[in-house]
Amino acid sequence: MRYEGVVYRPPSEAHSLIVQVTIGCSHNGCSFCGMYKEKKFRIRDLKEIIEDLEQAKLNYGLIKKIFLGDGDALVLETNKLKSILSKIRELFPECERVGIYGTSNDILSKSLDELRELKEFGLGIVYLGVESGSNEILKSINKGVTACEMIMAGRKVKESGIKLSATLISGIGGRAKIREHAIESAKLISAINPDYLGFLTLMLESGTPIYEDVQKGDFHILTPEEIMYETREFLQNVEVDGCVFRSNHASNYLALSGILPGDKNQLLQDIDLALKGEHRYKQEEYRRL
């Protein structure tokens, strides 16, 4: 396999074969994200991608899961994605799931029929970075999309039959917008009802605009206790059905997981115990992106 630069993938793709079909992120403008700053966005040649898949077939055993990178590979035109998915099916008939990152704009630029075709060709899950349900926060982090567009995109993926995994970032509104972030995010997630919902916790990457804002004193990072209050407020207000909730990423202070709504009370109790000092928060030096 040939890889260009640092390669990122969602936590649940830890055991997947990663194939870069794009390099970087087509948006590459979110104020907190430094993942693809060193990469100039481009789409790889189909010939190269097919060669990589053939190489993987020769070098590895059974491949159960494949993740198509980089930052928003769903930006690829549908026919090209279909060619890649067909090749995957031909080479790896045992592959149970193909995953991909997609932005709201990537999703909205495809028709529902195109998404359904991608599902038929084997696309199993789309990872959507929602970050926040607040329009003000989305604007301040330069997400390039409104909450309403995010809802339309999320619902479209679900309607296509492809699984949807949405991610929120705890603390992304700073101290000034704890409640707004929690409440508006709960509204947005309730409107989409994703299959999976993951929480990350904001970590500062030097060189990003949000890092500069913190240095200038214009943005205040939350303490672990404030993160707990924010998460608690979110959980109390969110209404979803059969959504797998995970807040156990390396960046999180406290590992939480359950299925909503059934495990909501247990999750709230775990947060309350943490706030009373009965659960220990992850130490700063062990937090990772």
**Is residue 197 a contact residue for ligand SF4 (CB under 6 A)?**
no
Cα 128 to Cα 155: distance, rounded to the nearest angstrom? 11
Q: Which stretch binds ligand SF4 (CB under 6 A): 31-39, 73-81, 191-199, 204-212?
A: 31-39
Minimum distance from CB of 227 to ligand SF4 (Å)?
A: 19
Minimum distance from CB of 259 to ligand SF4 (Å)?
A: 26
Give which of 64, 65, 84 is closest to 74, Cα–Cα. Answer: 84
**Is residue 198 a contact residue for ligand SF4 (CB under 6 A)?**
no
Strands (E), the chain: 17-20, 22-23, 42-43, 65-69, 97-101, 123-131, 163-170, 196-201, 243-247, 256-260
The two beta strands, 42-43 and 22-23, are antiparallel
- Neighbouring CB atoms inside 10 A of 267's CB total 20
Provide the token pair at 60.
């590895």
Minimum distance from CB of 106 to ligand SF4 (Å)?
A: 9
3-state SS, residue 68: strand
Q: Which stretch binds ligand SF4 (CB under 6 A): 29-37, 200-208, 244-252, 260-268?
A: 29-37
Which residue bears the tokens 């998460």? 231
Q: Please pick, from the candidates 30, 100, 151, 197, the single residue that binds ligand SF4 as defined by CB under 6 A.
A: 30
**Is residue 27 a contact residue for ligand SF4 (CB under 6 A)?**
yes
Q: Which stretch binds ligand SF4 (CB under 6 A): 21-29, 75-83, 84-92, 120-128?
A: 21-29
Nearer to ligand SF4, 28 or 190 (CB): 28
The mark string for 129-148 relative to ligand SF4 (x by CB under 6 A, - otherwise) is x-------------------
Q: Which stretch binds ligand SF4 (CB under 6 A): 33-41, 106-114, 149-157, 241-249?
A: 33-41
**145 Cβ neighbours under 8 A, 6+ residues apart:** 103, 104, 105, 138, 153
Q: Please pick, from the candidates 71, 124, 171, 173, the single residue that binds ligand SF4 as defined by CB under 6 A.
A: 71
**Is residue 31 a contact residue for ligand SF4 (CB under 6 A)?**
no
**Is residue 256 a contact residue for ligand SF4 (CB under 6 A)?**
no
Is the distance from CB of 123 to CB of 88 less than 8 angstroms? Answer: no
**Is residue 35 a contact residue for ligand SF4 (CB under 6 A)?**
yes
Q: Please pick, from the candidates 1, 7, 28, 214, the single residue that binds ligand SF4 as defined by CB under 6 A.
A: 28
Q: Where are the alpha helices (DSSP H) in 100-217?
A: 104-108, 112-120, 135-140, 147-160, 178-192, 209-216
**Is residue 103 a contact residue for ligand SF4 (CB under 6 A)?**
yes
Nearer to ligand SF4, 28 or 135 (CB): 28
Cα 249 to Cα 217: distance, rounded to the nearest angstrom? 27
Going from the C-alpha of 139 to that of each of 30, 112, 134, 177, 218, the distances in angstroms are 10, 27, 9, 13, 16
Q: Which stretch binds ligand SF4 (CB under 6 A): 20-28, 152-160, 184-192, 262-270?
A: 20-28
Give contact residues for ligand SF4 (rule: CB under 6 A).
25, 27-30, 33, 35-36, 71-72, 103, 129
